[in-house]
Structure 1
Amino acid sequence: MANRISKAIWASTLISGLLCSNVQATDSSFKDTLAVAELKLDSSVLNYQADASQGEILVNQRCIACHGDAMLKIMATYPNLKGQKGAYLFKQLVQFKRGERTNPIMQGQAGMLSETEMKDVAYYYSQQVAADLSK
């Protein structure tokens, strides 16, 4: 039993390390990291070139109310998405949409996005400088 748990922890740590490696630099490394994460994605999503400007539009429409700098200063439990790794954010959105992660608000938000839109949002956030919430 302990051996099975340690293998699960090791595998989880390995995948987390792969997802948190420097994947924000290019879309091709974003695609490669998603493949390693074993998300079953349509090839059109993997081959889609993420569009940061489209991501910004979607963020302003759907995300900023909870994940914008002003809200993050008063709601410390909401994650700061700026500067996060794109593949990590994309994976989280996919898991919310598929019901693999549960949070009624995020499941609703992710449920309204296509996988290419999720990729745009994740790529946009990965290109942002992390917000300084100490001020």
Structure 2
Amino acid sequence: MTETEPLIVVVEDDDGMRRALQRLLRVSGFDTLTFESAEAFVSANLARAPHCLVLDVQLPGASGPRFYEQLGVQRPPAVFITAHDSPATRSAILSAGGHELLTKPFVASDLLNAITRAVLRGASP
């Protein structure tokens, strides 16, 4: 990992999806760390703050929106992903402070565009 590339943290419980997202983000020029749960991410106690989180909505333990809400005001922007889009899911994401939601399966360019928007939003003063 280098300090010059944005760090994107993926929290996704599906191993295959997590590996695919990691490969996509790395070949797209991002430093990437992946975790299978919100608890694993918290336990890692990262020395470097992520520029963006990619959070699965349906995580074991704390859901993606609940976890994001608990991070408080100093949290990085997030892109939420789910296989189960619904009005309740969208409401939970908005209530947690999220702006981006992609429904699986999604096109790689849609994810990269959502991450770029999120990173830019996070860089705003």
Name the TM-score, length of structure 1 as normaliser. Answer: 0.32
Name the TM-score, length of structure 2 as normaliser. Answer: 0.34
Structure of larger gyration radius: 1
Relative contact order higher in (CA < 8 Å, ≥ 6 apart): 1
Higher helix content, 1 or 2: 1
Higher strand content, 1 or 2: 2
